Structure 1
């Protein structure tokens, strides 16, 4: 039957085209996966080289465990000058490529330059440098990274400056989860600052607090990926669990 033969030929042609299309889609997906993996490697390469860094005021240890290859979180630790170190955590809203690109952009913006002024270190007229206060840094970030509306990307941010000689730590937070401070007696306390994330309002104001760190005390910075992680029953880990776990394992 001629009609059946024609229909069979058409079906075979359609199946071939479908196989070719599936092959192209699979190839495109493989390429996209490779590109995302490469981007994730680049993002991770911009993090501190060592997961434990030693300074005069003590050690700084960090862990970076994104849920996906690319993450909207970023962190850094660095020497600002002879007497001060800086450390920050940035958490961009959303997931995927747009969030990761913004997190890296903000991270590079916050990286101090070797021989010039930056948002973190101010160059004086006499050639000496001055560490910019955390609240000034937050204000400058908010001016530089304004969203056009609330649907666009924004980010939370916590930034600390530690005097390695005296142990004084100044810090600010922009809509970020509170810093967790562990005293020498093992008491855990969240140090909360109330402020909006970066990018909402150009006139937003930010707070700054000071903690006098004593030998043996610890400070924890983290993103909401820790406290909002869910178990098999869809219960969030939460602030109380974080405080309990850190208190029990403070040694």
Structure 2
């Protein structure tokens, strides 16, 4: 179809419309005893004839303007073949129309045939590359659409002949049925039409008045959209406040048959309620955002501060992906010789996860020096609460004996294993255990012990770091962290922490560190034991 010329399309259209006229005239002759059907078929035949004449006039005009020998037109045999393929789509079956049908059924069948005709010409339009063909097909489709309107008018008035006044009344009823205000404004700002909905609201004396006068203005608006629409020959939209209500105003140019702009049609939709709802949602979101800021401040305020002992020091990075997060950690003194430390990751993010971190902080036993017993107590208390099966906590818990230089630890499903390192060596604190959850009634935790000598360092982190990915999909796994540790083991813990965090951001964003969008909570805690 993309090789059809404008003359080819016109020949097909003329031939189809002529066949349509012949078809309906035959139906007219066959319906001799049914006057109502005769009227319908005669009206349809005349419409098809008018369409054929319209397309033939364009065809003759094109023949005069164009040297048609520049391209090969379809011959009559080809035209007949095309018609035979599509006539079943465009014209109804004769036997179907001869069946006994009332006026409404017959007209509705005709409308369906027009829909099929529009679909056929639209398919030609979609497959053509020629600008002139596109213009002519738009003419064809517009004519068929007008045919649909005339058939619908027959149904509306229940008769085959519709006057100009009745046609205008039909169109006005469509506009008056709209809840939106509709008005037409000429190029001198005069209202030349307003629908009933607008008149009921602003009064029935609208036509003949200036468009700005009816909304309480003495002069045209500085940002008059009707003038803008006429100037740019396109649609323009703005919001306007009228009688205490907010309207969305859409202005579009109204052109005559020569394409000249004669007026502007405006549709005004009352958006007061939606704007009010929008403002309420914004206010609610602001309150929620303010509450989250307070919650974040409170959550950050619970993070560990400096300790009274000078035997141990620590530094950390805490970056929740939302305002508040599900990662949590703490470093605290159990007694004069024991330091407790843990890092936890609650499933999910945001408010639900952060609430569980509060439960964790309030429930954890800070007077027990056995990590396994602490986790077992936490598991028991968790199961006494009704948190559901969807959420859980993974946690690594350790107790550092700063006098005997030992570290005891246990693991509740925390899969990002801590790293114990110094200037000579590096090892993972391997341990396994069941997450804090209510999946089973009881959970036993195994306790491990290792040396923790002076200048040893302990790195704890969550999977928010090890699960990040580069743009190519590569994961930032533990080997990157291990390389950063060993390559910078001579640096202090603050420097090592910053190197690791910067490397993770470089991994995701290259050198564009100002892009701080992350998709999981990132938490890193680094401790060092002194003499």
Equivalent in the alignment of 1:85? 339
1:30 is paired with a residue whose SS is helix
- Stretch of structure 1 that moved more, 12-21 or 87-96: 12-21
Q: Deviations 1:77-100 (Å, cap 9, x if unpaired)?
A: 111111111111111101111110
2:396 is paired with a residue whose SS is strand
Q: For structure 1, which runs of at least 5 residues remain unmatched after alignment?
A: 111-118, 122-130
Find 1:197's aligned residue among 435, 440, 461: 435
Equivalent in the alignment of 1:183? 422
Find 1:31's aligned residue among 278, 281, 287: 287
Find 2:303's aligned residue among 47, 51, 55: 47
1:178–1:191: 8 Å Cα contact kept in structure 2?
Answer: yes
1:88–1:160: 8 Å Cα contact kept in structure 2?
Answer: yes
Confirm or deny that 1:6 pairs with 2:260: no
Q: Deviations 1:35-58 (Å, cap 9, x if unpaired)?
A: 1111111111111234xx573433
Shift of residue 7 of structure 1?
A: 5.6
Counterpart Cα distance in 1 of 2:388 and 2:476 = 27
Counterpart Cα distance in 2 of 1:72 and 1:99 = 4
Find 2:487's aligned residue among 235, 243, 248: 248
Q: Deviations 1:59-92 (Å, cap 9, x if unpaired)?
A: 2222212122110011111111111111111111
- Stretch of structure 1 that moved more, 61-70 or 141-150: 141-150
1:55 is paired with a residue whose SS is coil
Confirm or deny that 1:157 pairs with 2:403: no
1:57–1:163: 8 Å Cα contact kept in structure 2?
Answer: no
Q: For structure 2, which runs of at least 5 residues remain unmatched after alignment?
A: 1-171, 177-194, 202-244, 248-267, 492-531
- Stretch of structure 1 that moved more, 82-91 or 8-17: 8-17
2:470 is paired with a residue whose SS is coil
Confirm or deny that 1:96 pairs with 2:333: no
1:47 is paired with a residue whose SS is coil
Shift of residue 5 of structure 1?
A: 4.2
Find 1:144's aligned residue among 381, 384, 400: 381
1:216 is paired with a residue whose SS is coil
Aligned residues: 231
Shift of residue 230 of structure 1?
A: 2.2
Distance 1:7 1:202, change over 3 A: farther
Shift of residue 232 of structure 1?
A: 2.5
Counterpart Cα distance in 1 of 2:344 and 2:198 = 60
2:334–2:369: 8 Å Cα contact kept in structure 1?
Answer: no
Q: Deviations 1:187-214 (Å, cap 9, x if unpaired)?
A: 3222221112111322222111111112
RCO comparison, higher one (Cα < 8 Å, 6+): 1
Distance 1:238 1:132, change over 3 A: same
Shift of residue 31 of structure 1?
A: 1.1
Find 1:120's aligned residue among 338, 362, 366: 366
Counterpart Cα distance in 2 of 1:148 and 1:82 = 37
Counterpart Cα distance in 2 of 1:194 and 1:14 = 63
1:136 is paired with a residue whose SS is helix
2:369–2:399: 8 Å Cα contact kept in structure 1?
Answer: no
Shift of residue 149 of structure 1?
A: 8.6
Counterpart Cα distance in 2 of 1:149 and 1:39 = 21
Counterpart Cα distance in 1 of 2:196 and 2:480 = 69
1:142 is paired with a residue whose SS is helix
Equivalent in the alignment of 2:321? 67
